[in-house]
Chains A and B, each alone.
Chain A
Amino acid sequence: MHTSLAWIDYLIMVIYFAFVLGIGFALKRFMKTSTDFFLSGRSIPAWVAGLAFISANLGAQEVIGMAASGAKYGISTAHFYWLGAIPAMVFVGLFMMPFYYGSRARSVPEYLRLRFDEKTRGLNAISFAAMTVFSSGASMYAMAKLIETLHIFDPLVQALGLPTSYIFHLSIVVSALITLGYVYLGGLTSAIYNEVLQFFLIVAGFFPLVYLGLKNVGGWDGLIAKCPPGFGHAWKGMTNPENNPLGVEWFALAMGLGFVLSFGYWCTDFLVVQRAMAADSMTAARRTPLIAALPKMIFPFLVILPGLIAVALPTPTAIEVPADGAKVVNAAEASGKGLIPAKVTSTGEVELDSTGKPVLDYDLAIPKLLIHYFPTGLLGLGLTALLASFMSGMAGNITAFNTVWTFDIYQAYIKPQASDKHYLWMGHFATLFGTVISIAAAYVAASFNNIMELLQLVFAFVNAPLLATFLLGMFWKRATANGAFYGLLSGIVAAALHHGLSLPGGSSPGVKGAWIYRLHDYRNEMAQNFWTAIWAFGVCLTVTVVVSLATRPRPDDELKGLVYSLTKHDVEHGLPWYRKPEVFGVVVVLLSIGLNILFR
């Protein structure tokens, strides 16, 4: 397959680059204080913060990973949205935002310091900072790998007189430099504004793809008829892990994904919470995740359906000659499934698993589909949308990293009493070295075949216990600092132990699990991850409660505004009922339940 890009495709990309950098330059003059740079001066309207909230999450792991999971598991991948994200987003908006925004904390770890103590904040800040640069590196790696596999930029690199293998390094350096550029110039505001722009661009790039794909396979019914059995149902067969494509049962799904992983991510991950913290009022901050939930609900159709369409299309078998050029089918494509090719070893042979079946490269679902349907022109837009998603995800990580580094590590432990100007300088510097570490991480993140599962693993170690800490901290005034710290620590250890003692099907002991002892086998990595999260959460919850009861509680006065029972509710009493976040939240939940029933 040799699709190459024309001048118009490059021009679209260049215009996009010019706009994102232009926004950075336009905002540069507003970056006077650390509040401007790290918190957008708390001046962002709710709809902008809301779209940035969802867009910051819409990185490589989302677009590529969700389509890959769609191709692997079918529409049940939508559980990540309708069971996972939506209820969690409603919860963070209605119940947790009053404490994040109301406490005037500048970051999630800083809330932990206000509610608990310094060591709990330190543990969270350091693990979170490590996680963000790692995620951003994994995202960059995924993008560079994709671009390399597609071979669409080969003529460009050859024209520059470089070997085609340089496309990997070039993709990383160019995308990192542009993202670094606009975040460095305009701080969080620039990241947020660009995330909104990228949000619309991603929709513009993928909507025609889904439209053409669905039209081609004969609508929804045609799609499901051409997909493997079970791909059209999200809930069918959930009573037994053997009977559904996900390989998990309803308890692990609802508890692991629906509760621990999703609430852990959306309610405690500073990457998304930071967007709401930048909102211009408490009401706007509470609305941010709710506004985000609306597009989030329809995103499965944009990012998961391409995976199903890619599987439903006929596998290329012979040499085809479409009207606009010769197309040679290679072995990798012929032994794939639908449009999804098999993986190829470094010697150019099709990779086989232990049972002799070809290993499929699911991450290529969206890019293959783009090349399949989009003509010159729209192809440029589609690729730009893909680049936009990588950049919005990366910028989200970088802005979260520079804030946590500057406020929760540098200001807390390295240089506490410096001027605001100094911390502003450190923010710029952290943006720079955060990017450099991410690039280093990109070269490390190479041994997993599905990015989503890799990231879930990291989230499970770090985030899953965190949810218990926040829930107890915000809703149980008896929870103490020592309880939180030792609970969090034992939760992370529990996650690591569980991972070290269990193994997903088809893997050998090592990085995928069972690196201590092979005690239990799961059907796949997803089941293992869900249970890792459940164990981490349960252990953290138990240890926090036990240690809290054995230690002295903080007086109520100190916890005002930090704990639910000691904080004034109903901050929006001036609003008519239909504008209250609570009503909005209920509507969102009902819509989500409706989608679950529709695709049961």
Chain B
Amino acid sequence: MNLDIRVPIGLLFLSLGGLLAGFGLVTHFSNPTMYARSLDINVNLWWGLVMIAFGAGMFYFGRRAVAASPEVPTPTEP
């Protein structure tokens, strides 16, 4: 099976992390009071960045493994 699970995990974390970090960055200036509940830490921005880093790592290693494995022909309908 030439689907390495690290690739979709990487993509999911990259998109969710990017979304959170971007939202965190915008709200950091537009609506800083919304972070009162999270002890005045902009958790969207920081955790978004962590998720991006994790997602990038997963994606990189997943892609590398897929590239290294011999090409498996897609099964055709019998």
Contact = CB atoms under 8 A, between A and B. Distances in A.
Contact of B8 (A8, A22, A41, A381): A22
Given A11-B19, A204-B51, A374 B8 contact: no
17 contacts: A16-B12, A19-B11, A30-B75, A43-B1, A197-B5, A197-B8, A197-B9, A323-B36, A324-B36, A373-B38, A373-B39, A375-B34, A375-B44, A376-B27, A378-B20, A378-B44, A381-B20
Contacts of A216: 39
A276 interface: no
B65 to A, nearest CB: 10
Interface string B2-21: 01010011011101100110
Contact of B12 (A26, A29, A197, A372): A197
Interface of A: 8, 11-12, 15-16, 19, 22-23, 26-27, 29-30, 32, 41, 43, 48, 189, 193, 196-197, 200-201, 204, 208, 212, 215-216, 322-324, 372-378, 381
Given A43-B1, A378-B20, 7 more contacts: A12-B16, A26-B3, A41-B1, A204-B47, A208-B47, A212-B43, A375-B34
B3 A27 contact: yes
A267 B16 CA distance: 36
Nearest to A371: B37
B38 A374 contact: yes
A194 to B, nearest CB: 9
A32 B1 CA distance: 12
A377 B20 contact: yes
A26 B15 CA distance: 19
Contacts of A30: 1, 75
A19 B8 contact: yes
Contact of B13 (A204, A372, A373): A204
B76 to A, nearest CB: 9
Contacts of B34: 323-324, 375-376
B37 A324 contact: yes
Secondary structure of the B contact surface, majority rule: helix
Interface in B42-62: 43-44, 47, 51, 54
B9 A189 contact: no
Majority-rule SS of A interface residues? helix
Nearest to A384: B16
Contacts of A15: 12, 15-16, 19
A34 to B, nearest CB: 15
Contacts of A378: 20, 38, 43-44, 47
A212 B19 contact: no
A482 B21 CA distance: 63
A484 B9 CA distance: 44
A29 B43 CA distance: 40
Nearest to B40: A323
Nearest to A30: B1
Contacts of B11: 19
B23 A8 contact: yes
B43 A375 contact: yes
B30 interface: no
A151 B77 CA distance: 48
Contacts of A193: 3, 5, 8
Nearest to B36: A323
A216 B1 CA distance: 46
B78 to A, nearest CB: 8
A324 B33 contact: yes
Interface-central residue, A16, A30, A196, A204, by most chain B CB under 10 Å? A204
